[in-house]
A = this chain, B = another copy of it.
Amino acid sequence: MDLHELTRSLHTKNDSKIVMLVADGLGGLPLVAGEGTELETANTPHLDALAARGVQGGSIPVAPGISPGSGPGHLGLFGYDPLKYLIGRGALEATGIGFELQPGDVAIRCNFCTLDDDGNIADRRAGRIATDQSVPLVHRLREISIAGLETFVEPVKEHRFVVVFRGPDLGGDVRDTDPQETGVPPLDPQAVDPNDAASCRTAELAGEFLRQARQLLSAEPQANFHTMRGFAVKPNLPSYDEVYGLRAAAIAVYPMYKGLARLVGMEIVGQSQSLDEQITTLENSWNDFDFFFVHFKYTDSTGEDGDYSGKVARIEELDKSIPRIMALNPTVMIVTGDHSTPCFLRAHSWHPVPTLLVSDCCRPDPAQTFSETASISGGLGQFEARHLMTLALANADRLGKYGA
C-alpha cells in the first residue's frame, strides 16, 4: 500500500489551515570550514521562535546522495514519490513557461539549429540566437497546420522553444531528433517502440511539423531549422483534493512552481511579484482554501550564484515574513525547502533540508534555533520528503486511525 492509498482512505475534513512555506534551495553548507551555513549565519529571530515551539528535522528530497531538480524536489514535498512519478522534460519545460497542459497533451522541447547546404547540422543551437530574434520565428511556426491536430508553439529563451501537440491518441515515447553532434543531419522522429501506436502517431505528426517548419525557416540565415527533444505526455498525478481531501492554493511568483502546483491540482492564486505580495495574497485567500503552498525562489537563485551574503539576506527576508503568516494562526505551519543549494557548490545538492513543523500537537524538541545543525537532533529526525504531507495532515487532525 503506498502513501496515497493510505491518505486517500484515512483523510477527513475540518476547518484547519496548513501553510507550507518552501524556501527553494534552503539548505546550505559552510563556505569556510568551521563556520556556519547560510541559515546559521542569518539573523532569524522569528524562525528561531517557531523552532522553540515546534519540531524540526532533515528532509531527504529523494534518497540519500541524490540531488534533485525542481520537479522531483517539489513532488517529494507534495507527498508524491519522486521515484514513481516522473515529469518528462518537455512537460516540465511547458510547465515552466506557464503553459497549462491538458490530459493527453504531448509537450516537446525544441532548439533552433543551423543546417549547412548539405542539410547537416552546423550549429545545434543556431549560434545561441538572441531571444528578440528567435521570438518572431517562433510566432512564424504558428502558421503550421496539421489536420486533426492542434499545435501550440511557445517561446522560451534564445534558441529554445516549446511545441505542444493536442489531439486524440498521442503518445510521448518518441526519440529526440537532435543527433547531439554536428556535421550530420537531424534525425527523424521515431517511436521508441514501433508497436506503440500512440507514440508512432506522435512521431508521424512531428515529422510533418518538421517538414513545414523547414519550409517556413528555409530562408533564415541562422535559425533555418529546429530539433525536437524530450517528448513527454502530461504526467498523470492524482490531485490534492483526491489524495488528501484538501482545497489547495499555490502562491508563487515563477511559472515553474505554479506549473508544478497545477499538476497536483492546486489552484494558482494571485499575481504576486514579491514575498510581501505573496503574504497579502495568502491573507486575502485565507478563507477559501485548506492548504497553502507559498514558494520563495531567491534562496535557491542566490545559492546557485554562490552569493553567500545574498542568500543570508534572502533568508532574513523570509524570516521577516513569518509574523504576518503566524498572525493568521495556521493550524500547521511548515517551513522547508525542496532541496539544498549551498553557495559552496553553486548547485542543487543532496544534503538534508532543515524542515520545521509547528502545531498545537506537534511534539516539541529541545531545539531553540532553526538550522542544519539543530535539525540533526530534531524530533522529526531525518525523513524522506514524501512523508511531510502525511505529517501535516496528522498535525491538522485530518487523518483517521489506520486499522481498528
A390-B33 in contact given A69-B404, A344-B361 (Cβ < 8 Å)? no
Contacts of A66 in B (CB 8 A): 6, 10, 390, 394, 399, 402
Given contacts A29-B363, A363-B29, A394-B350, contact A83 B6 (CB under 8 A): yes
Measured CB to CB, the nearest residue on chain B to A53 is: B33
- Residues in B neighbouring A348, C-beta threshold 8 A: 401
A26 to B150, CA, bound (A): 61
Let me know if A337 is at the binding interface, CB within 8 A. Answer: no
Residues of B within 8 A of A25 (CB): none
Q: Is A33 a contact of B391 with CB atoms below 8 Å?
A: no
The distance in angstroms between the C-alpha atoms of A366 and B40, with both chains bound, is 13
Q: Would A67 and B401 count as touching, CB distance under 8 A? A: yes
Task: State whether the Cβ of A172 lies closer than 8 Å to any Cβ in chain B.
Answer: no
Per the 8 Å Cβ criterion, residues 58-78 of A in contact with B are: 58, 62-73
CB <8 Å contact, A364 and B33: yes
B residues less than 8 Å from A205 (CB atoms): none
- Nearest neighbor of A382 in chain B, beta-carbon distance: B381
**Which of A194-202, A283-291, A372-380 binds B?**
A372-380
* A-side interface residues, number (CB < 8 Å): 68
Residue interface mask A365-403, B partner, CB < 8 A = 1? 110000011001111111100010111111100011111
Closest Cβ neighbor of A378 among chain B residues: B376
User: In the bound complex, how far is the Cα of B84 from the Cα of A73, in angstroms?
Assistant: 27
Which of A86-94, A220-228, A269-277, A320-328 contacts its partner?
A86-94
Q: Check: A82 CB closer than 8 A to any chain B CB.
A: yes
Among A63, A92, A391, the most chain B Cβ lie within 10 Å of the Cβ of A63
Q: Which of A36-74 contact B (CB under 8 A)?
A: 37, 53, 58, 62-73
From B3, B68, B363, B381, contact of A403 by CB (8 A)? B68
Q: 15 interchain pairs (CB within 8 A)?
A: A3-B63, A6-B63, A29-B363, A30-B364, A37-B363, A58-B381, A63-B387, A64-B383, A66-B394, A73-B403, A87-B404, A93-B404, A344-B361, A345-B361, A351-B363
Q: Besides the contacts A6-B83, A33-B364, A92-B404, what 5 more A-B pairs have beta carbons closer than 8 Å?
A: A65-B393, A65-B394, A65-B399, A68-B403, A377-B377
Identify the A interface with B (CB < 8 A).
1, 3, 6, 10, 29-30, 33, 37, 53, 58, 62-73, 82-84, 86-87, 89, 92-93, 342, 344-345, 347-352, 361, 363-366, 372-373, 376-383, 387, 389-395, 399-404
